[in-house]
């Protein structure tokens, strides 16, 4: 994630890390004792789920490890357009609620007012800010600790020129016009939280992320609230 700093430990108690074969791959959000929520393009056959984990390299502490018993992707997900980029991994056993592991409320209505501050958190790639290496693989560094960035929601119509014909009503652009803090590779599925309410899911954007001035694009949670509730009820 570009332009971010390390989060205060456990200040984002809904943060979840998804692992495949022992390697951190994606982020997600804790939405109930048995359920987390991520992006469909993060789907895998087997995953380990870690809650209340601030530092990937630190052993012990309040973190909880679970296995994803089943993964429910949106049945109409479109990989090409990124439509309906949302999935629900179900845990094999309930998580224990604590100060460090708490569900986040799901957005039931439209997004906050333009310019309202939100937080996106994750462990994805960032730029080392060296001009001579921007855009190269060496300029990207993955953090072991959770990092946060304060960014603003912007109406999708403001960025139609950046992504002509690609922005849908179920998506939201988040970032700063002209460049600034934003999500990056490795942040897929991470939460966008505004006023302690889950508003978005990191979905897609322009690459390489450390050189583009285009904003990241997020799945709009309120567009899928009914599907999320029905899927949790049925499973």
What is the token pair recorded at 150? Answer: 């304060």
188, 203, 210, 231: which is the annotated catalytic residue?
188
Instruction: Tell me the pTM.
Output: 0.85
pLDDT above 90: percentage of residues in the chain:
34
- CA torsion through residues 124, 128, 129, 131, sign: negative
For the chain, list the domains and their CATH numbers: 15-103+223-234 (2.40.10.10), 105-222 (2.40.10.10)
Active site residue 41: yes
Give the containing element (helix H, strand E) for 226: helix 225-234
Neighbours of 35 (CB within 10 A): 21
Stronger pLDDT, 154 or 168, i.e. the higher one: 168
Which residues are CB-neighbours of 109 under 8 A, at least 6 positions away? 222
Averaged pLDDT for residues 116-134 = 62
Stronger pLDDT, 173 or 233, i.e. the higher one: 233
In contact, 111 and 194? CB cutoff 8 Å: yes
What gap in Å lies between CA 205 and CA 185, rounded to an integer? 9
Closest CA to 91 of 137, 132, 48, 43: 48
Is it the case that residue 1 has pLDDT exceeding 60?
Answer: no
41, 50, 143, 223: which is the annotated catalytic residue?
41
Active site residue 109: no
Averaged pLDDT for residues 6-10 = 92
pLDDT at 96: 94
**Least confident range of 30-39, 104-113, 213-222:** 104-113
In contact, 65 and 48? CB cutoff 8 Å: yes
Active site residue 29: no
10, 29, 54, 85: which is the annotated catalytic residue?
85
Averaged pLDDT for residues 66-92 = 90
């Amino acid at each position: 994630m570009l332009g971010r700093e390390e989060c205060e430990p456990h200040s984002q108690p809904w943060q979840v890390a998804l692992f495949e074969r022992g390697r951190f791959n994606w982020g997600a959000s804790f939405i109930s004792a048995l359920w987390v929520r991520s992006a469909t393009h993060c789907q895998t056959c087997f995953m380990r789920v870690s809650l209340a984990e601030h530092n990937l390299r630190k052993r012990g502490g309040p973190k909880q490890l679970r296995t994803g018993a089943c993964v429910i992707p949106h049945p109409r997900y479109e990989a090409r357009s990124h439509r309906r980029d949302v999935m629900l991994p179900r845990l094999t056993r309930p998580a224990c609620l604590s100060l460090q592991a708490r569900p986040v409320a799901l957005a039931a209505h439209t997004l906050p007012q333009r310019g309202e501050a939100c937080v996106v958190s994750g462990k994805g790639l960032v730029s080392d800010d060296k001009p001579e290496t921007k855009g190269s693989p060496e300029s990207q560094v993955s953090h072991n600790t959770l990092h946060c960035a304060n960014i603003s929601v912007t109406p999708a119509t403001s960025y139609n020129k950046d992504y002509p014909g690609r922005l849908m009503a179920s998506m939201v652009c988040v970032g700063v016009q002209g460049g600034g803090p934003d999500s990056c590779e490795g942040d897929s599925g991470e939460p966008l939280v505004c006023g302690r309410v889950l508003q978005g899911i990191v979905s897609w954007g322009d690459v390489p992320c450390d050189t583009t001035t285009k904003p990241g694009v997020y799945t709009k949670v309120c567009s899928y609230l009914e599907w999320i509730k029905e899927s949790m009820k049925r499973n």
